[in-house]
A = this chain, B = another copy of it.
Amino acid sequence: MMMMKNPLDPEEFRRQAHLVVDFIADYYSNIENYPVCSQVEPGYLTKTMPQSAPLQPAPIETILQDVQKHIIPGITHWQSPRFFGYFQSNGSTGNFLGEMLLTGFNSVGFNWLASPAATELEMLVMEWLLKLLQLPNSFSFSSSGGGVIHGSTCESFVCTLIAAREKRLQSGTKGDALGKLVVYCSDQTHFSLQKACQVVGISPHNVRSIQTKRSMNFQLSPDALLTAIEADVRAGLIPLYVCLTVGTTPTTAVDPLLTLSEVARRFGMWVHVDAAYAGSACICPEFRHFLDGVEGANSFSFNPHKWFLTTLDCCCLWVKDQSDLTKALSNDPELLKNKASETKKVVDYKNWQIALSRRFRAMKLWMVIRSYGVTGLQQVVRKHVKLAKHFEALLSADNRFEVVVPTNFATVCFRVAASDELDSNPLTQSLLESLNGSALVYMTHAVIEGVYVIRVAIGATLTEEKHVLMLWDMVQQHATHLLAKYISPN
């Protein structure tokens, strides 16, 4: 058999990578020609792809044809300007270049020595963001805190839960006491917290999901939190951890951080603030007030991979006391011993996360910040918020619709207005199905206090005013059609 070229041959790399750059640039140029949500049936790929790995190499040109023909039809186009589902994950050229560089270097930065730049750039970028978000200095490396990039909010939940658990129980004395630990959140908190509790061995019976109300804009009430904690303490349980949210997933509600963290601190609890979605907005001074009270937290996280022009995966976590994390997550095997680590003058990020190995994610965040600057990143947030407020105003001016909660950021929650004759929930659900069925737009839903709402998350990078106006036209047309059917079903 012929020996193939080295798989990292620089000239072959150059040739093929240029082809793929053009492929992706063309994809973005044509993205509006695709259905936003993939229209394939389950199992579509199995029918078209060979059932065993090919023995021989294929030329890149053939592979790209297959991507176009077989993969793209199965993709839900999160980068489409008409994608309004879940929360967006908005990519950018700067981010893409960062991913290219970090993949190209592929330095496995588990400790400082394994690639000093990976560690030091991460520390630098986390300090930049700390200042940008006006987080208190107690979260800074210059104090006893510090920041780390995780892959997901769930990983940040797991790591801070373990830190809190070990701090409370002291290592090795677990056993019975683990069954007594209780975690608190609201019924609006992201469901990843439940899973994180499951991961670290906290029983689902010991997770208190405290009810919120529409009349309170779905904020967690300090009184309700206190009542729940006191009941557990009376029952001999141990309040461990509370998760507060700035920008909840269903409705972007904002918990009152200051009063809630004061309640939690009275019981020596760990306070985590999850601003996965809304954190990015807080780089604008006019939104920073949503973080007021964050100084009462032990840890804070937000996801640049939602609204900071950054792709998966990138979740920034800060802790006030880095030793809380490193005491719980460190190990020091012979294989990784080195003089730099022994000086204790360097950060070994393996002790700040679950896995040993880690991608050089700081590179993409640094590229994003360098490429757009703070002013550019603020511009993006403001544009999306302005579009959302405009869409909210259009809905509010039409008595067929009801905006269910105030639009804090750039996600609008609305439904078909209820009346005596109309049952809003099934109608709103039908409206969503009708809109998504067009494949021209994509949105998702939430059910809050029994109310079915359509969530419109405006934040894809390519989304412009014309896309939101097109959505508004569609909402009106589909609603007209639906209501006509409902009122005269024959």
A136 lies within 8 A of chain B by Cβ: no
Option from B21, B114, B357, B380 in Cβ contact (under 8 Å) with A18: B21
| A420 close to B (CB within 8 Å) | no
- Check A60 against B97 for contact (C-beta < 8 Å): yes
CA distance A427 to B358 in the complex (A): 33
A480 to B189, CA, bound (A): 65
- Within 8 Å by CB of A152, from B4, B99, B355, lies B355
A133 to B146, CA, bound (A): 43
Nearest CB in chain B: distance from A388 CB, A: 18
For the complex, give the distance between the alpha carbons of A53 and B63 in Å: 40
Please state if A375 and B63 are interface contacts (CB–CB under 8 Å). Answer: no
Instruction: Check: A270 CB closer than 8 A to any chain B CB.
Output: no
The A contact surface, by secondary structure, is helix
Within 8 A of B (CB), among A369-385: 369-376, 379-380
For the complex, is A305 an interface residue (Cβ under 8 Å from B)? yes
Closest residue of B by beta carbon distance from A129: B53
For chain A, give the interface size range.
Answer: 35 or more
Once A17-B96, A78-B107, A101-B67 are accepted as A-B contacts, the answer to whether A334 and B447 lie under 8 Å apart by CB is yes
Report the stretch among A119-127, A287-295, A392-400, A470-478 that lies at the interface: A119-127
Select from chain B the residue with minimum beta-carbon distance to A24.
B104
Pairwise interchain contact B53-A374, C-beta atoms closer than 8 A: yes
Q: Is A143 an interface residue (CB 8 A)?
A: no
A100 at the interface (CB under 8 A from B): yes
* A249 proximity list for chain B (CB < 8 A): 335
Contact with B along A438-458 (1 / 0, CB 8 A): 000000111100000000000
Instruction: State whether A104 and B96 are in contact (beta carbons under 8 Å apart), knowing that A21-B21, A57-B371 are contacts in the complex.
Output: yes
Residues from chain B with Cβ under 8 Å of A21 in the complex:
13-14, 17-18, 21, 100
User: Interface readout for A55-98 with B: 1 if CB under 8 Å, 0 if not?
Assistant: 11110100100110011111111110000001001011111110
Shortest CB–CB separation between residue A206 and chain B, in angstroms?
9
Residue on B nearest A447 in the bound complex, by CB: B334
A367 shortest CB reach to chain B, Å: 7
